[in-house]
Structure 1
Amino acid sequence: MPLEPLPTATRDEIQRLVHGTCDPVFLSELHQALTTGLPDDSGGRQLLHRLGLLGDTLPHDLFEDPARLAAAHAWVAATDPSLCLAALVHHLLCLGSIIQLGDGADEVTGRIKALRSGRAKGVYLITEAGSANSHLATRTRAELDPETGEFTLHTPDVQAAKFGSAGTLDIPQTAVVLARLFTDGTDRGVFAFVADLTDDAGLLPGVEVSSPIGLGALPLDYVQVRFHQVRLPHAHWLADGASIAPDGAFHDPAGSVERRLQRTLRVGQGLWATMPAVAAATSRQSAVQAVTYAQARSTRGKLAPGVPLLTYRTQQRAVLGALADAFALTCAAHGARVLWEESRTASGDQSGAEMGFSPWTAVHQPLAAYKAAAVRLAARVSAECQRRCGFSGHLDANRLAAYHGFHHAFDAAGGDNQLIFYDIGRALAEAGTTGQATDPTPPAAGTPPTSAYWWPAVARRHQHDLTRHLVEQSRAGDLGSPFERWNPLLEDAGLLGEIYANALVAEDVTRTLAGIRDRELADALRALAALHGVTAARRWSGPLLALETLRPADIQALSDAADELCDEILPHLPLLTEAFAHPDDIAPTACDPALAAEGAWTRGGTA
């Protein structure tokens, strides 16, 4: 840590970088909410208490301040990843659906108040356990009773059972359930419905849950849920502008069953826009722990007995590379949040493409890409930091395993990353076949990989090269069914979607650098930005070489470039670790095995 306090201007700029537009008063309230003593109750009551404390820090209009919403969940992720997942579902998916898709009916407003205050836990039930891609073929039914105006929610068979974190049966739980609406026997598309699952006495009539489903990487109350002719008031239909006239005439502004699903799922945009901030927070904390560990840990290797672990180049490239990736995710958090704000105020169709393997890119292609890229990179960062901290990295007290489990689980949760990349890659290639692809500007002649601007240009160039390659392959192959055409090309399509997402992050990094005014901070961040690019290029070396986006000599030069950048970063580590770390009572900043045993020693033979 710096020996002297940081200048006020530097500290203010760091806060804007890490926390966006959040003011210090909010951050102080958030800090207090996450460190307030909790009741002795375990399980559901404690969870409700913590959700209530967190909700108290958020604005009354949950979505009026995306920066505050993102920062709150980012801090929770650094504190307790399991709580973060519960909070993301509670606020962004359950409450988000009710607020954004509902019409403000009094009966549903009461559910909003209970969820906001922590008197009920929010659940989101979308995935059906019995089939892949179930989001595209929801089978849970909600049938209108024309005489009463109520809906009957029903699970047709065991394959249509919903999967979710709804197993805390001793507290009130309110779910948003995605179901296929039928009126007069006609399929009207997938809508969201509000259904109470439990009250203080347990499960409500018609709701059935399985025994708990264990998931060690992310311990929550997972179960399967089935509905047996559960009656829902008409107001519990989150109609999103659709209506049913007294004579039974149905009207939906979406215009089609497919567009209805896209509109119903648009609440996912808030989750995708928030996940980069969450990923950045856990990655910064992981990297700070790994750096601190490598600085303090002396080695006994024969090459140089007694030197700090961070003296080794391999350790520098790994842990400073993690710090660089954490900075890139911090920049992506800003980019995703701005994009979400723009999408919320824009009119017209915000979808990215037609539905393919999943609905996510059709809802919003860039935001889905941000989510997929962010959680995959954060999982890689936490895993690398855990590995570089040896035994200490596996201790529960240091949370690196929990951070990795959280993001590794989100590779499939919240929209499957690989399916997102497949769909993006296929959409980009299809655009290329119609002449819509643009030829990017290559890196300026002589631009070294130690420049922060080198990797964004390389990434966009590789995206262009891979798009052209896929277009050529798709034209050369059998032009039969879409499956026959794309099945052999999906691996490359996934790579194209992934490099598109990586390029979004890379460009956010250069935009962030352009706004930094403090000289020392700018110097440190420029080196981090370049190291992120070098680290990414080394990771992508195979595909880059395969399409000759880079030459073997370019790849060979990356190790020397990484070492040069590590030398630039090392003097700035006190500034960077202070800037990136959460307070010690929120999350540990030192990955020390002694901390786990502090206060727990027992000596034999004492009275």
Structure 2
Amino acid sequence: MGTTPEPDTGLLRFVRGPGLAAKTQARLNEAIPGEFFGYPDGLTVQDRHALTYRRLRHAGLTAPPATELLAEPPALCALLERAAIADPGLFHLMLLHYTLALGPILMFGTEEEGPREARDSLESMDSFGALLMTEVGRSNSHLAPRTLARYDAATREFVLSTPDGEAAKFPTNTAHPALAKTAAVYATLEHEGREHGVFVFAVPVRGPGGQIPDGVEIVPAPDTTGLMVDYAAVRLRELRVPYSAWLRDDARIDASGAFHDPAGSAAARLTRSMGIGPAVWRAVVSVSAAITRASAVVLHEHAAGRVTLGRLAPRHPLTGYRNMGEAVLGSLASAYALTAVAGHVKRPAAGAAAGPAGPEATWAPWSAVDRDLALLKAAATFEAQDTVAMCRVRCGAPGFAGTDRLNGYRGLSHAYMNAGGDNELILFDTARAMADLDRYTPPAPAGDLAEDADLASPQVWLHAAGESERRLRDRLSARVSEALEGGQDPFHAWNDNLALAQATALACADRTMFEIVAAASEEGPAELAPLLRLFALDRLERRSGSLLNEGVAGPGLADRIWAARREVCDELAPRAGAIAAALDVPPEVTAPTAFVLPG
């Protein structure tokens, strides 16, 4: 394996995709310059947070306007990708600011009376965006937040209240004492003694200089290093906000005090209020690909040219050992596969912007917004987490202590297995829709996988994943139906089958990803095909237990996967350096031992 050869040009074109206008790309690079790829040593936690927010302000004032970014997913994703590679904490704050604070204002605010001051302060970076959605004391709190917004007709205001500590909003990025924060608050609207569903309110929770207004209580959380943000819990105590703070969409309260909502039901309104989800999921998928690319390059640069002192072959190249060589190439393959998935979700047709696009939800609202995009978010973060964690371990002590980069990427991938929609809840709702055939059509029967099936063929990946998905779905549906017919209530009927439900949804995710990478393998450069083949082989190995359990494949499957992987790795190994270089990772992302190698 080489160290720093010229990038493979075909793969480089694939990674860069159709590309942004040169002027836009230059602005994004200027928004997050090289100096943002790291922090000075010796900063206190609060100093670090302050620097992150200064960087966020610089990025917001230098990048294209927020309205343009939110209207052009590839541009917003490119900005967020660069932010995540530079600093996961910066990415997290940027995602909150653009998609989850400004996004609802632009989506649900009305022209004539929307929260103009809140919008202006966020767009000018005079205030930073925050999200007050989940509540600390109860799981699945998205479905029924206990924070209430009661309408006061006498003053034409809403009164926002969290009834107790368990209803406090957490996590939020509101702890820094000297910064203005404007929050998107999710609350159940109550009017004339009736609850009318979940709406969003634009609320300043810290004024200029960080002043906390009357009616807001902020309790900073202990310092943490997992994803470094100024976390805090927020309680609202009879906080009065104007009618215009209500991001009412097409709902209204008329002059007579009557409530009107064309959504038609509290459940439909919840789905509508969560309609900002697709923008978040596109970003998370794209960033999962970005940090996987960066991690794969770090591992490659750590391993390339390195020798070992093992007694079987002293001074043998590290990557000459199958376990390490296949790990390096496997991480590169994962990076290219996730890049294909990211390219897919950034297309305009991928993901609905609003309205109920998916099946009814049971555990969380996400699948009702867009089942397929939510599922791809879960699949991408699972893949990124596995790959980033493997890269960190394979870099040994330098990957852990020589730099915080891989630790930061791992913290980010971990965080977004829950953030942006909990992965397990997404899987459960996906599986429920599959079992009930709720806007879902199973793959056609394909039969068992032949013992001599060519595992290098995309058609074989799709055959294996699709047949496993169909059989799992059939078993899940039969088990739940049998339990219900036998007198079990829905909770116990599903609770006894959650492991099967998770496997069923994961099979659907595998098949969906295989469809995307198979198309990329066919349409992309010839150099891409063996990399995506290696990704598919690794994923088939990960699912081999399920394939065997469902009878899709027989004994010996692992041996055949290992043999096919050795073959494709032998093909790729001589070009590993060019493959890594084509991932187009910024030069500031270096190998973990670079700090001891100044010259």
The two structures share one fold, judged by TM-score above 0.5: yes
- What does residue range 150-161 of structure 1 map to in structure 2 within 5 Å? 150-161=157-168
User: How big is the shift at 1:316?
Assistant: 1.8
- What does residue range 559-598 of structure 1 map to in structure 2 within 5 Å? 559-585=562-588, 587-588=589-590, 590-592=591-593, 595-597=594-596
Q: So what's the TM-score if we normalise by structure 1?
A: 0.91
In the other structure, the counterpart of 1:134 is 141
For the residues of structure 1 that align with 2:313 and 2:111, how far apart are their CA atoms? 68
In the other structure, the counterpart of 1:265 is 274
In the other structure, the counterpart of 1:14 is 12
In the other structure, the counterpart of 1:604 is none
Change (3 A) 1:342 1:402: closer
Contact persistence 2:135–2:166 (CA under 8 A): yes
Contact persistence 1:479–1:485 (CA under 8 A): no
- What does residue range 467-546 of structure 1 map to in structure 2 within 5 Å? 467-477=473-483, 478-517=486-525, 522-523=526-527, 525-546=528-549
How many residues align? The count is 584
Change (3 A) 1:549 1:296: same
Contact persistence 1:291–1:310 (CA under 8 A): no
Q: Deviations over 1:194-240 (max 9, x none)?
A: 11011215212111011323332112111110011111011100001
Bigger mean CA offset, 319-328 vs 241-250:
319-328
Q: Deviations over 1:104-130 (max 9, x none)?
A: 356623322321232211001100001
- What does residue range 71-86 of structure 1 map to in structure 2 within 5 Å? 71-86=78-93
User: How big is the shift at 1:577?
Assistant: 1.1
Match of 1:103 among 95, 107, 110: 110
Q: State the SS of the aligned residue for 2:347.
A: helix
User: How big is the shift at 1:451?
Assistant: 2.6
Q: State the SS of the aligned residue for 2:199.
A: strand
Change (3 A) 1:440 1:448: same
Contact persistence 1:48–1:120 (CA under 8 A): no
Query: What letter corresponds to residue 425 of structure 2 in structure 1?
Result: L
Contact persistence 2:278–2:373 (CA under 8 A): yes
For the residues of structure 2 that align with 1:169 and 1:366, how far apart are their CA atoms? 40
In the other structure, the counterpart of 2:32 is 34
Match of 1:380 among 372, 375, 386: 386
User: How big is the shift at 1:576?
Assistant: 1.2
User: How big is the shift at 1:476?
Assistant: 3.3
In the other structure, the counterpart of 2:43 is none
Which gives a bigger RCO, structure 1 or 2 (Cα 8 Å, sep 6+)? 2
Change (3 A) 1:331 1:16: same
**RMSD (Å), alpha carbons:** 2.5
Query: What letter corresponds to residue 121 of structure 1 in structure 2?
Result: F
Q: Deviations over 1:68-94 (max 9, x none)?
A: 111111111111011111111111111
Q: Deviations over 1:382-426 (max 9, x none)?
A: 100011111111036251111011111111111110111111112
User: How big is the shift at 1:18?
Assistant: 3.6
Contact persistence 2:15–2:583 (CA under 8 A): no
Change (3 A) 1:341 1:309: same
Bigger mean CA offset, 500-509 vs 144-153:
500-509
For the residues of structure 2 that align with 1:46 and 1:292, how far apart are their CA atoms? 29
User: How big is the shift at 1:295?
Assistant: 1.5
In the other structure, the counterpart of 1:168 is 176
For the residues of structure 2 that align with 1:213 and 1:398, how far apart are their CA atoms? 20
Contact persistence 1:270–1:340 (CA under 8 A): no
User: How big is the shift at 1:5?
Assistant: 5.3
Contact persistence 2:292–2:387 (CA under 8 A): yes
Match of 1:554 among 550, 554, 557: 557
Tell me, which stretches of 5 or more residues in structure 1 are unaligned?
601-607
Contact persistence 1:165–1:220 (CA under 8 A): yes
Q: Deviations over 1:301-349 (max 9, x none)?
A: 00111111100101122221111111111111122222665624xx9x5
Change (3 A) 1:121 1:3: closer
User: How big is the shift at 1:34?
Assistant: 1.5
Match of 1:91 among 98, 113, 137: 98
Match of 1:46 among 47, 51, 55: 51
User: How big is the shift at 1:513?
Assistant: 2.2
Contact persistence 1:448–1:454 (CA under 8 A): yes
Match of 1:278 among 283, 287, 290: 287
Q: State the SS of the aligned residue for 2:217.
A: strand
- Does 2:68 align with 1:64? no
- What does residue range 23-422 of structure 1 map to in structure 2 within 5 Å? 23-35=21-33, 42-43=47-48, 45-55=50-60, 56-59=62-65, 60-105=67-112, 108-163=115-170, 164-199=172-207, 200-338=209-347, 341=350, 343-344=352-353, 350-395=356-401, 397=403, 399-422=405-428
Query: What letter corresponds to residue 343 of structure 1 in structure 2?
Result: A
Contact persistence 1:422–1:494 (CA under 8 A): yes
Q: So what's the TM-score if we normalise by structure 2?
A: 0.92
Bigger mean CA offset, 127-136 vs 394-403:
394-403
For the residues of structure 2 that align with 1:241 and 1:179, how far apart are their CA atoms? 17
For the residues of structure 2 that align with 1:93 and 1:102, how far apart are their CA atoms? 13
Change (3 A) 1:406 1:552: same
Bigger mean CA offset, 439-448 vs 55-64:
439-448
Q: Deviations over 1:145-175 (max 9, x none)?
A: 1011111111111110000121112111000
Q: State the SS of the aligned residue for 1:194.
A: strand
Tell me, which stretches of 5 or more residues in structure 2 are unaligned?
41-45
Identity, % of aligned positions: 32
Change (3 A) 1:25 1:14: farther
For the residues of structure 1 that align with 2:198 and 2:281, how far apart are their CA atoms? 21
User: How big is the shift at 1:252?
Assistant: 0.7
Contact persistence 1:463–1:500 (CA under 8 A): yes
User: How big is the shift at 1:24?
Assistant: 3.5
For the residues of structure 2 that align with 1:528 and 1:276, how far apart are their CA atoms? 19
Bigger mean CA offset, 87-96 vs 50-59:
50-59
In the other structure, the counterpart of 1:603 is none
For the residues of structure 1 that align with 2:310 and 2:524, how far apart are their CA atoms? 41
Query: What letter corresponds to residue 137 of structure 1 in structure 2?
Result: A
Contact persistence 2:431–2:504 (CA under 8 A): yes
